[in-house]
Amino acid sequence: MRESLEKLKSSRFKFILALAGIFLLIAVRCFQLQILQREKYLRLAERNRTLVFPVKAPRGLITDREGRVLAETRASFSLSFVRGLSRDPDSALSEVSGILSIPVQELRHRLDNYRDFPRLLPVVIAENLNMAQISRLEAIRDKFPEFLVEAEPMRFYPFGELAAHVVGYVGEANGREVKALGLKPGALVGKKGVERSYDAVLRGKDGALYLLRDSMGNPIKIIKRTPPHPGRKLVLALDLDIQKWAREELQGKSGAVVILSPKTGEVLAMVSSPSFEPNLMSSRFAGRAKLKIMTDPGKPLFNRAIQGTYPIGSIFKLAMAVAALKKGVVSPREKIFCPGFFPFGGRNFRCWRAGGHGWEDLAHAIRDSCNVYFYKMGDRLGIENIVDVVKDFPFGRKTGIDLPGEKEGILPSPQWKRKHLGVGWYPGETISLSIGQGYFTATPLQVATFVAAIGNRGWYPVPHVIKGEKTEKVSMEISPWIFEAVIKGMRLVVKEGTGRAASVPGISVCGKTGTAQVVKLEKSKKIKPHSLFAAIAPCDNPEISIFVLVEHGGAGGETAAPVAGRLLRRILGEKIKGN
């Protein structure tokens, strides 16, 4: 009996001890939850009873140098769908399909693009709503709380195609961009041009709208607002008048025009033709229209000014002249005889003039674009000396312009050929390179910067599209007298040679024409060469550096030089003299 009583007391003690332990654990957990982790669970509870909607920041203005608006933000209304508030998504989408005149399948597809994102994040499914649509959507709001009509700033480009390649356009952020930039689904980001390269400053910072909701998840009142911070305004160096004139000159043609300030590097005009409509490309849902632009065989989205790489023909002779003078293989006054051909390596390299030019010094060889003169310069220099000088110009590498997608072009060398083609360099290729043929290619921007370097007598600015940006200078260890000798020949090109159509009454223009042979697209049909012209003006203290490329436009003096002449007469006459 005593033993049973002892066992009973022991059991009670253990039970009481166990119960005390349980209460102690509960107390410790309560202390942890209510005291130590109070703030955490308050935040979670608050999150459960509030909805947070982004208030989109207006994107910053983009203007030309005179303040004319190239990109602005306009008021618009969009419709978003909050999946976490929907009891019957199919029924809800069917209801709005008729209001929006958009097939249910298309609306569902737009939602599916964000199926991996949080269900309480609004997803834009329609934009640019009209007042009739907004009224009908408000009428079904109680029945379908998952729909949210939002005032949304939309991007608009008043001048459309005029400066599309420079300004660019915005588009809906893809999944990768949403995650990388910490954006909300449906956010618009820069996709091309200035809109892309300066997206972070243009985008601004979104605000937020905090809504209290009931136990059913329905919003009942606004409890807090965080105002958005608009994006920064950008003033471009572009002059809209010059841009318009250049675009008019390329209307109906494929090509590019680049016009720089040689001293500052500011891009006064940059035209790539054909162009595209940025307002269409900025629409979230203009799929067919976008596809038409993207599949256009004329490649309107392709910025020929910085992405197109072309042989530049006889314009390269200016670089050869600088190299020959720097390396001391010729003097400006030395005359070389041109019989119309240059025998080398068992073949005759022809001059463009069958009978030859006779005796030519440097300036007249540039004026006449004498092939034989520069064949001999190439033979005297050798490929290593040519590359050693020409690499100091903006060839074979990016200029560093503040636009996305710039290409490097090709400055060929034995090392380049071995790396990219796996074969050695042949001596005859040096002769071809001497007149701008062979593997050499450059972008229109590189050529405009190259002639700026000649006009500045040995330095060039890094080109940029933002007005007033600090000029970065690239200096070359080449004596100014060398550039003076080359400029003398460039004066003669415009005064007496193939560039006469680029002359401006009362103002000295120094230039060089180029005719770039291209591969035949069809064996049965001859394709005209590209027409090129590069110039600076005035010669002694340049205010303009210009390069014109007309694809398949024929000889440089035939098409490109007249285009440059008309532009220079308007710029130097109406703009510079008018200031």
Active site (catalytic) residues: 314
User: Phi and psi at residue 266, in whole multiples of 5°?
Assistant: -65, 135
Instruction: Render the burial of 257-272: b for 16+ CB within 10 Å, e for the rest.
Output: bbbbbbbbbbbbbbbb
Q: Are 551 and 566 in contact (CB under 8 A)?
A: no
Closest among 187, 193, 192, 191 to 205, alpha carbons compared: 187
| Distance in angstroms (rounded) separating the CA atoms of residues 213 and 287 | 36
β-bridge mates for residue 344, sequence order: 347
| Overall size of the chain counted in residues | 579
Backbone angles phi, psi at 337, to 5 degrees: -85, 135
**DSSP per position, 48-100:** HHEEEEEEPPPPPPEE-TT--EEEEEEEEEEEEE-GGG-S-HHHHHHHHHHHH
Closest CA to 352 of 375, 318, 383, 319: 375
Q: For residue 570, which of 310, 248, 313, 319 has the smallest C-alpha distance?
A: 248
**Which residue in this structure is represented by tokens 């020409």?**
390
3-state secondary structure of 234: strand
For residue 65 the two structure tokens come to: 């140098």
- Three-state DSSP at 224 gives strand
Cross-strand partners of 459: 475
CB contact at 8 A, 356 and 389: no
Start-to-end CA span in the chain (Å): 121
Cα–Cα distance, 491 to 503 (Å, whole number): 10
**Contact predicate 87/260, CB 8 Å:** no
Nearest to 445 by CA among 568, 530, 545: 545
Strands 207-213 and 50-55: antiparallel
User: What is the four-CA torsion angle of 87, 216, 56, 204, rounded to 10 degrees?
Assistant: -120
Q: Nearest to residue 449, comparing CAs of 435, 466, 465, 461?
A: 461
Token pair in block for residue 359: 């005796």
Backbone angles phi, psi at 220, to 5 degrees: -120, -30
Greatest Cα-to-Cα distance within the chain, rounded to the nearest angstrom:
140
Q: Output the six-digit token pair for 344.
A: 């080398």
Which DSSP string corresponds to 339-385?
Answer: -SEEEETTEEEEPSSTT--EEE-HHHHHHHT-HHHHHHHHHHH-HHH
